[in-house]
Structure 1
Amino acid sequence: MTTHHLARIAIVGGGPGGLLCARILQRHGHAVTVHEREASAGARFQGGTLDMHADTGQEALRAAGLLDRVMALARPEGQELRLLDRSAAVLWHRLPAEGETSRPEIDRGLLRGLLLDSLAPGTVRWGEGVEEVVPLGDGPCRVRFTHGTTEDFDLVIGADGAWSRVRPALSDALPAYTGVTFVEACFDDCDIRHPGIARLVGQGTLSAKGGRRALMAQRNGDGSIRVYAAFRAAEDWHAGLDLDDTDAVRADLLQRYDGWDESLLDLLRHNDGGFVHRPLYALPVPHTWEHAPGVTLLGDAAHLMPPLGVGANLAMLDGADLARALVTEDSVDDAVRAYEAVMLPRSVENATFCAEGLARLIPDSETAEITFPYGYDAA
């Protein structure tokens, strides 16, 4: 096997997990390239805010030497949580303790920018999507890029998300619809333009629940609030509805939430811009594979699960664990085996956790009892 520092390592996908893996490898003198389908760092909005858990995301950032820089940008006040029923009665309100940093929030774009800035120039090859990965049988893998060229690597790391082009080299599994759809809306400059919404949501996250649906709202660091109408429906629930027709989507949502308090319905009435349809998909549980030389997965490519605050944290921890194994083990193959022995059981445990959490968040019953936000029952 090629010695570690000369090994050809390719990371497919420039999300938090892949970038953090590259950062740690470079800190230890390993050459690595990141291949990203998007044309540039600013080609796509990176999503809202995420909470960095002390034992996963923060641990990974510490291994990358970036925790202090990230914490300087994070918002501990974003740990505030409010749980309401459909009448807007407050059932539970959690304020973070003074100095608490167990789950501070940071905007995804800020985190990604910091990770990108931590890499050597030229590490990320923008506009270089992967079409397929073919194991060559003797260890290396051949990557065929969407622009027609091929390149061989000693290790290909699939960090390319839900619809990974690397995953088929290891697994036939495909994400399946969970039965739950999110419809996203945004309120800009809330404290000035939408003060009522700002007061309702507070500094962190609001969750209003009733039957087979919920409304969730989360403050972002740029002064915006992102809202998610979450409900159980068939995958083709929007058949006959033009999702680009804001008024038509709003009318559909207001009908679905008929009877909810007016203050909550304002989350659907007064958003800036249109609505974004985000159906939730997940990989089967458990999702594992037989080890194959020269290729592995991390993050959503390995264990796509419902978005309950776990995914990005696990992706970063995966990236850190894989990079540390590549630094310490005797060979690339030994490193991948050691990584998968830890990551696969952990991902099954967390995927089970998230599947149960989604069932509690959006139960398949109109009369289900409202429960605390998942993961906070003992708070």
Structure 2
Amino acid sequence: MTIAIVGAGLGGLTLARVLHVHGVDAVVYERESSRGARGQGGMLDIHSGQRALREAGLFDGFLAIARGEGQDMRLFEPDGTLLLQEDTPDDAPLDRPEVDRADLRDLLLDSLPEGAVRWGHAFDSADNGVLRFADGSRAAYDLLVGADGAQSRVRALLTDARPAHLGQNVVEVGIPDIDRTHPDLAAMVGRGNHWVLGDGKSLAAQRNGDGRVRIGLSFHNTGEDWFATSGIPFDDPPAARARLVDLLAGWDPRFTALIAACDDVVVPRSITALPVGLTWPSTPGATLLGDAAHLMPPVGEGANMALLDGALLGLALAAHPDDFPTAVAEYEREMFERTSAAARMSADMQELLMSPDAARRLLAFFRPG
């Protein structure tokens, strides 16, 4: 029986790996032309997802690429007031280590047999056990798993739900090799996560394993058309940086210096999510995992849920190799309950981060009482 997985992200690859460990074949179809076709994003906080890596037999490999110091946290108000600084001891347990998304994806890809991932296959449609791709090619399947992310095309086979804008727009920028090029800013950012919250905005700076600091500037309570009206000239990076500095008027000069030091990679991102508690009737022959099933606000749960989805669906299919409908129904019952709780928690954290007193509320979250 043929299992077709659409999307070579973390969840889809984890599913393929767990199936491989249990002697079950699967094929992953990915629209990108190769594993290096585009950048894979920044660091991930992996906590509950560690279970999935154990089930995949990759936990030791994960520990080799995990960064314990990435658990460090610094929290500021826009005027420069330091509210919280937590530095992780060298011997601290890796409860929530950071890992580079690209490194984790490579770990999963390298664990699969040659040919398990078919690159350059952009999913177009599916019916009657036949996948159709944008280039006109076809493939047969008995079970189709949509692991194709926030803008999933497979999702439409199961539900009419679509991601909705959350009133947050993010501009991503970054400083390469910050320790060498800007040691003063590197010292301020620290080894892990650096947050500035206030004035309806937030700045999140995060160390990557390659020495780059990725910075996300969030503008809260803004509409879907905000990028068009913001005055940020995305086609002119120096002018875009200058405009971003203007939008942070009144902030401590150390924080605006971070923006001025960035390179020419300036990426706008609108933040969307699926409805909390989304479910669908179990459908023979198809299911979803990861962002395709439960896109959440980006507050640290999405990647962990995707890893768990892949592992737990893989275990269910391995336990019922001749009865995919039973395996899928078993997986979906658990997944709906688990991810609904994570989505509610993520929505609550999103509301906190968008509140007028976000910095103080986040401080209370980390240090209750």
TM-score, shorter chain, exceeding 0.5: yes
Deviation, structure 1 residue 373? 6.4
Match of 2:57 among 56, 61, 65: 65
| Distance verdict in 2 for CA 1:156–1:290, change over 3 Å | same
Structure 2 counterpart of 1:283: 274
Distance (Å, rounded) in 2 between the aligned partners of 1:16 and 1:358: 23
Q: Does 1:187 align with 2:175?
A: yes
- The DSSP-based 3-state class of the residue aligned with 1:72 is helix
Distance (Å, rounded) in 2 between the aligned partners of 1:327 and 1:189: 44
Deviation, structure 1 residue 369? 6.0
Match of 1:49 among 40, 43, 49: 43
Structure 1 counterpart of 2:31: 37
Distance (Å, rounded) in 2 between the aligned partners of 1:308 and 1:369: 15
Deviation, structure 1 residue 347? 1.4
Q: Is the 8 A contact 1:74 1:104 kept in 2?
A: yes
Match of 1:80 among 33, 57, 72: 72
What is the CA deviation profile of residues 130-184 of structure 1, one whole-angstrom value per residue up to 9, with x for unaligned ones?
01233x3xxxx33211111232311111000000011000011111111101111
Q: Is the 8 A contact 2:75 2:359 kept in 1?
A: no
Q: Does 1:357 align with 2:349?
A: yes
Q: Is the 8 A contact 1:212 1:231 kept in 2?
A: yes
Aligned residues: 364
Q: Is the 8 A contact 1:92 1:372 kept in 2?
A: no
Trace 1:242-257 onto structure 2 (pairs within 5 A).
Answer: 242-257=233-248
What is the CA deviation profile of residues 335-364 of structure 1, one whole-angstrom value per residue up to 9, with x for unaligned ones?
00000000011111111111111111122x
Q: Is the 8 A contact 1:79 1:103 kept in 2?
A: yes
Q: Does 1:370 align with 2:360?
A: yes
Amino acid at match of 1:128: H
Trace 1:1-379 onto structure 2 (pairs within 5 A).
Answer: 7-53=1-47, 56-97=48-89, 98-134=91-127, 136=128, 141-232=129-220, 233-239=222-228, 241=231, 242-329=233-320, 331-363=323-355, 365=356, 370-372=360-362, 376-378=366-368
Taking structure 1 as the reference length, what is the TM-score of the superposition? Answer: 0.92
What is the CA deviation profile of residues 115-139 of structure 1, one whole-angstrom value per residue up to 9, with x for unaligned ones?
10000000000000101233x3xxx
Deviation, structure 1 residue 377? 4.6
- The DSSP-based 3-state class of the residue aligned with 1:253 is helix
Distance (Å, rounded) in 2 between the aligned partners of 1:322 and 1:377: 36
| Distance verdict in 2 for CA 1:347–1:196, change over 3 Å | same
Q: Is the 8 A contact 2:67 2:99 kept in 1?
A: yes
Deviation, structure 1 residue 101? 0.4
Distance (Å, rounded) in 1 between the aligned partners of 2:100 and 2:280: 33
- The DSSP-based 3-state class of the residue aligned with 1:285 is coil
| Distance verdict in 2 for CA 1:80–1:245, change over 3 Å | same
Taking structure 2 as the reference length, what is the TM-score of the superposition? Answer: 0.95
What is the CA deviation profile of residues 270-312 of structure 1, one whole-angstrom value per residue up to 9, with x for unaligned ones?
1012311111111112211111001000000000011111111
- The DSSP-based 3-state class of the residue aligned with 1:191 is helix
Instruction: Between 328-337 and 103-112, report the one with greater CA deviation.
Output: 328-337
Q: Is the 8 A contact 1:357 1:374 kept in 2?
A: no
Distance (Å, rounded) in 2 between the aligned partners of 1:132 and 1:349: 31
Amino acid at match of 2:52: A
Deviation, structure 1 residue 102? 0.3
Report % sequence identity. Answer: 45
Distance (Å, rounded) in 2 between the aligned partners of 1:11 and 1:260: 46
Unaligned runs of 5+ in 2: none
Distance (Å, rounded) in 2 between the aligned partners of 1:101 and 1:44: 29
| Distance verdict in 2 for CA 1:114–1:209, change over 3 Å | same
Amino acid at match of 1:355: A
Q: Is the 8 A contact 1:322 1:336 kept in 2?
A: yes
